[in-house]
Each structure stands twice: as structure tokens, then as C-alpha cells.
Amino acid sequence: MTIMHKYREKVPVRELCQWTDFSRSNFYYKPTDGKKGIRPSINTLKQDGTIVSNAEVVEDIKKILSGEFVCYGYQNVTAELKSLDYIINHKKVYRLMDESQLLLGKVIKTQGKREWVKFRKINASKPMEYLCWDIKYVWVPNERKNYYLLSLMDVYSRRILDWIFQSSVRKIDVIKMISRIDIAHGLKGVTVRNDNGSQFIANKVRHYLRTLDARQEFTHIATPEENSYIEAFHSIFEREVIQRFELASFYEAKLTISAYMNFYNNKRRHGSLGRITPMKKWDEYQVSLSFDKPQTAQVLEEMSRVSAFQDTCLALDIFGNTATFANRMMNENLDENVLNSFNKSVQLIGG
């Protein structure tokens, strides 16, 4: 090939190929970085005829694999995608998972050690001492799709402090929720309990909680009873919302969930709280705090009456004033001990 390029300007390519016994097609061939064959499709078709980009298919694959114990290969992922009305075969799923590094063998790596739950039962003595959160799948039949409900609960009052309902819950969504709670209530010194979902073990989520001086603890694998408070709420939600209402669309589901969260916090009586609502439990503690705070002393005229002068008829009159009272004292020729006692009493009550 080098000789042919050397004499190409002097001898026709046809003759050079005959001399070197080299085909002209190989001489003119220019290698490319692309793969052989037809270019792969960039879209995927669904049962209803809609066309979805491969990027959206990859996002759905990530949602399928985001479960705590989901360890699917491309065959099982293909079956899951077909249940979501995708028209797709296992070869394309393998290619998409390979390009996105989602095939088996990829391990989620986190930095630092996780702090595990030590006691299953939480004995919270005040609001914003212990929080717990978890994700629940909400199936919308008409759309044949699962949506995700992330709820965050205050353990002391059982109040749902924040929630999001979306087609996916990513670590940035979790960080935004944390930020809202910190702005509204402050997370310094608060313990947050969660399971080992990918959103909660993400390094950025853990780092953000540490920067807010919040303590994060993880339940042990396959031990949902360690996060029983939020699990119980999701069980109540399943019984009182999912099984009773037909959620026709995402927007109808979101409106229904919003109305229920308001009902749960403000109107629904909770057995473990003594048959009161979560907001009433929350408010009762806040009111008790206001009574415990030191109050500014407001000395009334009645408080100025000193017991030492009850027999001298010199006790302050409600409608009198200090100057008149002092003149009366001088005119009565009270002994020095009584005067000293009066002065000390007046200083004690802020006179």
C-alpha cells in the first residue's frame, strides 16, 4: 500500500493494482469508526402508536432497576418494558443497557459507612426530633403506569411534613425536599430514618444531610418493620385512597393525594395520638413551649401592696401614685426597719 501511494502520481491506479495484485476497492476503502450494518433506531414504538425516544426508554429501565432488591438482566427488563406497552425486543434492550452501563455486574458504590438502626421503636419527645421517609408505588390503571409517592413524616406528631408525586424520584428531588424542610423547620440535630433505596444512599444526599448537621440512619436489609411509622402511613394510604378511588390519570391522582394529605394532617384522628389529629399534636407541643418561655414581668398596682404595711393603712391604692404614697409615708413617721422592709419589697416587684 505504501508503494502504491508513492508512485500514484506517476502511474495510474489501475496499473499499480495490476502490478501489486491489489484490488482497487481495497485501495479506495476508507475505514470509519461506525459499526457495520444498518444504523440502530433512535426511537421505540408503544402499543398505542406513540413514539418514544430511546433516552426515555433508558430512564424507564433505570426506574425498573432502582428497586432495592431488583437485580434484573436484560431478559427480565424486556418483560417489564413490554408490560409498560413497549414494542421492543431483548436485543435492543441489551444494546441500550450496555450503552448505559446497566447490565448485571454494575455495583452501586457509596462513600463512607452507613449508620444502621439500633432500636426499632422510636421514642420521640418532641416534633422535629425524628423523621422518617419512604417511597410508595401508585398504579394509575388508565395510563398503565406506576408513579412514585415520596412521603416524609414527623414521628412525634405523625404529621406529613412534605411529599412529592412524580413519574420518577431522583436524588435531586430528595435534596430539594430536604432543603424545603430545613428552611421551614431546621434540620440541625434531627435524625432521619430511611431504607436502602438508591435515592437515599446516594452520596450527594448523604453529604447534604451532613452539611445540615442532620443524622441519617438506615434500616437493615429486608427489615421494613424498622421503618414502621412511614410503612404504617403508606398502608393507611393504600386502604383509604388507592382501594377506594379510581385514579384515572396522573393529574387526578395528584389532586386526590393532595386532598388526602390535608385531610390526614388536619382532620383524621390518629389512634396512637389519643384520637387527635397530627396537627393538633404538633400545635399542642408548640403551645406548651410558649408557656415554658420566660414572660416579661408586668407589675400591676395590686401587686404593689406590701404585706408589711397592711396594718398601717399605707398600702398603695389602685388609683393612687408613688409620689402621694411617699408623702404619706413621711407623715406617718414610720420606723426605719419598716421603711427598709418596704424598700426591699418594692425592689423585688420592680417598683
What is the value of pTM for the model shown?
Answer: 0.56
Q: Which set of grid coordinates corresponds to residue 258?
A: 393532595
pLDDT reading at 302 higher than 50? no
Query: CA 180, CA 178: separation in Å to the nearest integer?
Result: 5
Among residues 192, 186, 246, the alpha carbon closest in space to that of 219 is found at: 192
Q: In whole angstroms, what is the distance from residue 300 CA to residue 343 CA?
A: 17
CA–CA gap between residue 233 and residue 274 (Å, rounded) = 17
CATH class of 130-288: alpha beta
By percentage, how much of the chain surpasses pLDDT 70?
Answer: 75
C-alpha cell of residue 47: 402499543
Whole-number pLDDT of residue 22: 72
Every domain of the chain and the residues it spans: 1-31, 43-99, 130-288, 302-348
The per-residue pLDDT for range 75-132, each reduced to its tens digit, is 999 999 999 999 999 989 999 998 888 887 655 566 677 888 888 888 889 999 999 9
User: Distance between CA atoms of 199 and 351, rounded to whole angstroms?
Assistant: 62
pLDDT band at residue 258 using 50, 70 and 90 as cut-offs: very high
The predicted structure's pLDDT at residue 134: 95
Is the pLDDT at 307 greater than 70? The verdict is no
